[in-house]
Structure 1
Amino acid sequence: MNTQKTKRIHKLVCAIPSGQVASYGQIARYVPGVTARMVGYALAGIGDKTGIPWHRVVNAKGTVSPHQGAFEQRQRLEAEGIQFNARDQLDWSQALWPGPDPLLLLGLGLDPEDAFRT
């Protein structure tokens, strides 16, 4: 994946406020040519030094995907008030990020309507 797409993914993830989450697919819908898996790769191992809230992106089931930082991710989400049920799923109706401001998308050179196209 090219650097421009990775930068766009990172900036979108930075727009997710504390206490809200997005799915990998939700982020991917805003960047043409990007899949949910590519979003996962763009966030894998970026760590704390970047300031990117990577932990606010979860899988489409509303669970933390298994990976090396999964325990830390869940702890961070819980510290932000995200609650998980007995099946380790969060409640999308309570935690879903409604998406970025269209002006942010325009500033990134993205079309705000892309997320609504199939």
Structure 2
Amino acid sequence: MSPGLARLVEVLALLPPGRLMTYGELARQAALGSPRMSARLLGQLPDRERLPWWRIVNAQRRISEHGAQDEQHQRLAEEGLLPDTRGRYPISAFWP
């Protein structure tokens, strides 16, 4: 596992249920340099079932377009996180 991916896993493991983080905040906390790097590394997660990748949204507080959008929306809904009519998640759900 690369050092960047290891740091991302550490930060992601701390993200509690019902809370969200942006790709940019994840990159900042894991010292990755850019939101794109955090997005790319999320696609390489070794344990996608245990690590809450679905709690990461874009800077507009929306789910980004990718192959698992429906699964991400479903998992967030199961945690009680629902977007508004514009597809944005509530700012109060963001962590820390």
Paired letter, 2:16: P
What does residue 61 of structure 1 align with? 60
Unaligned runs of 5+ in 2: none
Q: TM (normalized to structure 2)?
A: 0.90
Pick the structure with more helix per residue: 1
Paired letter, 1:96: F
Paired letter, 1:69: A
Equivalenced residues, count: 94
What does residue 39 of structure 2 align with? 40
Kindly name which structure, 1 or 2, has the bigger radius of gyration based on alpha carbons.
1
Distance 2:89 2:28 in 1: 21
* 1:29-68: CA deviation from partner (whole Å, max 9, x where unpaired): 12334210010011116332xx111001110100000000
Q: TM (normalized to structure 1)?
A: 0.74
- Structure 1 residues 25 and 3: alpha-carbon distance in aligned structure 2, compared to 1, 3 A threshold: same
The structure 1 segments of at least 4 consecutive aligned residues displaced by more than 4 Å after TM superposition are none
Unaligned runs of 5+ in 1: 99-118
What does residue 108 of structure 1 align with? none
What does residue 81 of structure 1 align with? 80
Q: 1:14 Cα deviation (Å)?
A: 1.1
Tell me how large the CA RMSD over aligned residues is: 1.5
